[in-house]
């Protein structure tokens, strides 16, 4: 009787899964993926340089919707923001011009630049282009910061189309 009950107990015991092949697979896969994994995330900023091009066929329609092109110049000690438009002698544009000093470490004040760009965007909401003109000595790091200022401010899109240009003269 005792032998019979022991047999039943043995039969009721759950069969153990053989985990060793799965573990082997994991031990191969994980080092391979770890070696090829990147722990930094690379993102991209779309930009372009000025090229000679014919004006688009619908340029008249574009003129009707009031658009401006923001110009951001980075000088050694200051950042100058101005705007261009098809309307000549636009007093509103002149009023929007500003000069912001760069910090002691020559860094651009992101908040100040973004706030000014936001004001311009609120007046001309259809505009989306900015020409960035850095001085020769401005580092790539500062250029990227200026592009960050132009893209958005407090989740509001500003001027995401940045054209990078050298200064004339």
Partner 1 sequence: MALTKRKRLSRTFVPPKLMLTSMMDMFTIILIFLLFSFSEEPEKLQLGKDLELPRSTAEVGYQKALKIILTKNELRINDEVMAQVQDHKIVGLEPQDLKASAFFQRLKSSRAQDVDQPGTAPEASHVLFLCDKSHSFKTINNVIKTAGLAGYPNFQFGVLEEKN
Give the footprint of partner 1 on this chain (CB under 8 A): 19, 22-23, 26, 29-30, 33-34, 36-38, 40-51, 134-141, 143-145, 147-148, 151, 164, 166
Read off the DSSP letter of residue 134: E
Question: Of 9 and 141, which CB lies nearer to partner 1 in the complex structure?
Answer: 141
**Dihedral, 53, 56, 61, 67 alpha carbons, nearest 10:** -30
Dihedral sign of CA atoms 43, 48, 54, 55 in order: positive
CB of 146 to partner 1, least distance (A): 11
Question: Of 87 and 166, which CB lies nearer to partner 1 in the complex structure?
Answer: 166
* Integer Cα distance of 84 and 69 in angstroms: 5
Tokens 């651009």 -> residue: 108
154 phi-psi bin (left φ>0, alpha ψ -120 to 50, beta other): left
Question: Of 81 and 142, which CB lies nearer to partner 1 in the complex structure?
Answer: 142
Question: Of 66 and 112, which CB lies nearer to partner 1 in the complex structure?
Answer: 112
CB of 148 to partner 1, least distance (A): 5
CB of 136 to partner 1, least distance (A): 4
């Amino acid at each position: 009787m005792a032998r019979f009950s022991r047999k039943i107990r043995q039969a009721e015991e759950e069969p153990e899964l053989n985990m060793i092949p799965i573990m082997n697979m994991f031990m191969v896969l994980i080092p391979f993926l770890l070696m090829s994994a990147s722990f930094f995330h690379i993102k991209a900023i779309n930009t372009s340089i000025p090229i000679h091009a014919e004006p688009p066929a619908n340029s008249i329609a574009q003129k009707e919707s009031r658009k401006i092109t923001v110009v951001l110049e980075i000088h050694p000690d200051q950042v100058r923001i101005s705007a261009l438009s098809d309307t000549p002698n636009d007093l509103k544009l002149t009023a929007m011009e500003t000069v912001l000093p760069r910090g002691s470490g020559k860094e651009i004040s992101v908040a100040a630049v973004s706030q000014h760009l936001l004001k311009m965007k609120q007046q001309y909401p259809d505009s989306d282009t900015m020409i960035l003109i850095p001085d020769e000595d401005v580092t790539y790091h500062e250029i990227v910061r200026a592009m960050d200022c132009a893209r958005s401010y407090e989740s509001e899109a500003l001027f995401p189309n940045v054209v990078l240009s050298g200064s004339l003269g």
